[in-house]
Amino acid sequence: MSSIVSSPIVLDGIAIAGQIKSELAAEVEAARERGYVPGLAVILVGEVPASQIYVRSKVKTCGELGIYSEMHTPPASVTTEELLALVASLNARENIDGILIQLPLPAHVDTSRLLEAVMPEKDVDGFHPVNAGRLLSGSPMEEILAPCTPAGIMEILRRSKIQIRGKRAVVIGRSNIVGKPAAAMLINASATVTVCHSQTADLGAITREADIVVAAIGKAGFVSAEMVKPGATIIDVGMNPISTEAELQKFFPGNATRRAAFEKRGSTLMGDVDPAAFAISGAYTPVPGGVGALTIAMLMANTVKAARLRRA
């Protein structure tokens, strides 16, 4: 008797982000009719090219959705005190619902002090300890501002109708911006969750038990096919440029599209998961075009939510 092996489902982050953004545009329009426009203030310190690109696309997306936005661009020499004063002025502004401090900040700036100075109601990155605590204590997602990347993961799972309740989820990575909040969200959604990190012994034995694997490590192709249970859902958060011929050959043998991208730019972006693991999965998020596509949409969602919650 032959067993039927079905191809994995590709969880299309770009399409899901598109759905979320069109829902948000309608919500912004409804807010405008009720007499307010959600507003986001972005603080970008110095001239880090990658940060400038991120911030520009955040501001552009605000414009597309009808969200008011403004940018504050102090020089790299700005002091913590000056930034605290800027945050205090934005906290006090009625037309600003969200405050985003683009990271990383210059080394001389006290990042945690600054993140904690943003009032929790305007903390659209969800990094404030009050918001982290609300997430951990199981407050409903509709009522809290939670970190954007893990919130995007939950949207992908939910909108793709991947069952979470009662399933075994393994999160690889324990950062405050991805791994830990992703684990908290999965627990809140009634998965049985294990969090792994660089000191985890026999990682593969743990990941092989997972129905849902979330890889947030920062190492190209780290999760191999041997580490994954066939049919599992794989959420690949990693964003790693690979720039050597050996890596291209190892992960994308015979892949003409990847080779073309590699030859054009000198690198190609891949996640933390080896494509051979995707091939045996039940569903997976590609890189690019998976989780990364959701992050800005979730920032917009948090801005609209912050505006609504502040007026509730």
Query: SS3 breakdown of the chain: % helix, strand, coil, rounded to 5?
Result: 45, 15, 40
Residue nearest to ligand NAP as judged by C-beta position: 175
Residue 219 designated active-site? no
Catalytic residue of the set 102, 272, 274, 305:
102
Interaction of residue 199 with ligand NAP, rule CB under 6 A: yes
What residue ranges in the chain does DSSP mark as E strands? 9-10, 39-43, 68-72, 98-101, 168-172, 192-196, 212-215, 233-236, 240-242, 268-270, 283-284
Query: Could you tell me which of 188, 180, 217, 213 has the C-alpha nearest to residue 280?
Result: 213
Q: Which residue type occupies 217?
A: I
Is 12 an annotated catalytic residue?
Answer: no
Q: Catalytic: 19?
A: no
Closer residue to ligand NAP (CB): 14 or 84: 14
Q: What is the DSSP letter of 267?
A: -
237 touching ligand NAP, by CB under 6 A: yes
262 contact partners, CB below 8 Å, separation of at least 6: 242, 248, 268
- Candidates 123, 125, 211, 272; catalytic one: 125
Applying CB under 6 A, the span of 14-22, 65-73, 103-111, 190-198 interacting with ligand NAP comes to 190-198
Binding ligand NAP by CB under 6 A: which of 61, 131, 207, 295? 295
Binding pattern to ligand NAP, positions 272-291, x when CB under 6 A?
-------------------x
Q: 305 and 287 in contact (C-beta within 8 Å)?
A: no
CB of 295 to ligand NAP, least distance (A): 4
The reply on whether position 239 binds ligand NAP by CB under 6 A is yes
| Phi-psi group of 93: left, alpha or beta (phi > 0 → left; psi -120 to 50 → alpha; rest → beta) | beta
Catalytic residues: 58, 102, 125
Residues found near ligand NAP in the complex (CB under 6 A): 149, 172-175, 177-179, 196-200, 203, 216-219, 237-240, 291-292, 295
